[in-house]
Structure formats: C-alpha cells, structure tokens
A = this chain, B = another copy of it.
Amino acid sequence: MLTDRQRQTLNFIRDFIDENGYPPKLKEIGNHLGITSRGTVHRYIRALEDENLIRVSTGRSRGIELVDNETPGDESIADHENTLPVVGTIAAGLPIEAIEDQETINLNDFFVRPGRFVLRVQGDSMIEDGIFDGDMVIMESCQTARDNEIVIALIDQDEATLKRIKNNQDGSITLIPANASMQPFRYSAERVTIQGRIVGQFRAY
C-alpha cells in the first residue's frame, strides 16, 4: 500500500512522462513535491520500485521507467476518464481543496466482476444496514454463504428476499432482516436457496 507522498510521486512521474516523453530526475520530482532533498525523493523511488510500480536503471540520470501494469491500452485513456478522485475522509475534517495528486477509484474496476449483477431493492427490511428502498445492491452469484452475510435467499422456489443469513446448528437457516419492526424467520435448509451474496451497494441522489 502506498503512502500519500508515494502516490503523489508516482502520479507526477506518470504525468511527466506523459508530457515530456522522458522520465524526470530526482530534483524535478522533488521540486514538484516541494522537497529540496534528493535523498528523500530517492526513498520514494525505492519504495515504488519495491512495489513493482517502476523500474530503475541504477546510477543513470532519468533512469526511471514505468512498469506496464496489466490492462494494456484501455488504461491510458479509460483510467483517466473513468475514475473519480478520492479526496479524503470527511469527518471533522479540513477544507476540501483542489489537490492534484490523489488516489483515484474506478467504479467499474471496483465492482464489476464476472458473475455479478445488480438488483434494485424494494422495501425496508434491511434499513438498519443502510440499505434503503430504491437502493441498488451488487450481488455475486453463489450457492452458499457464511453467517452474517447478506444474501438473496429464495424461499420455496417462489419468493426471493434480501436478508442477513445465519446457518443454524441443526441445518436450518435463519434469515434476519435489519429492521426492528420485522422478525427473523427460520426455515429448513430445503426450503432456502441462496442465489447470491452482497458485495456492494450504491445509490444515486
């Protein structure tokens, strides 16, 4: 996992190469980061090399090289246009400023996987878990689930619901809504078919 400064360094190297066609030297990186010490910059370079994100020709000026990081082609463009910057954490936080070198997140990379699908949630049964009426949940197909996972359970091959699951000792299954006004229900294993477990959730305002 990269630190902020390491990420900023990597981003700058990418941008620099993108713009100039050749990599920056330590001093140029430091200049961008507001660091006067080449030694400090060099430590970041080493860290990025350890993470296998860049390759370094030791001793040479401008000896930094980016490592091809999978998903060829699509990335150069898509990764710029299909990402959202993660600015930070909102808490009792500081002002949100226009910061250049931020972590970014690609929602598709984040959520899209084979075997996943989206459902629109209807009803309030999972409201206490923050899943509201109208929300979209991203599910992953599966046949079994561990305790406490939120799953789509098909009951009697007829009715599908989104609930938290508990596998009981006797083989039966309890489906637990996240709503104080609703009761958990217990079913024999034969009556319940798991169709998927939740891996994500999103909502548009």
Contacts and interface: CB of A to CB of B under 8 A. Distances in A.
Number of copies of chain A assembled together: 2
Given A73-B75, A82-B108, A120-B86, A92 B159 contact: yes
B111 A108 contact: no
Contacts of A120: 86, 88-90
Given A72-B74, A160-B96, A200-B202, A89 B122 contact: yes
B7 A91 contact: no
Interface string A118-144: 111111000100111001111000000
A119 B154 contact: no
Which DSSP category, helix, strand, loop or mixed, fits chain A's interface?
Answer: mixed
Interface residues on chain A, size class: 35 or more
A84 B105 contact: no
Nearest to A79: B74
A167 interface: no
Given A95-B154, A117-B86, A123-B91, A201 B199 contact: no
A85 interface: yes
A180 interface: no
Given A159-B93, A201-B203, A205-B200, A84 B107 contact: no
B130 A95 contact: no
A123 B40 CA distance: 35
Contacts of A89: 119-122
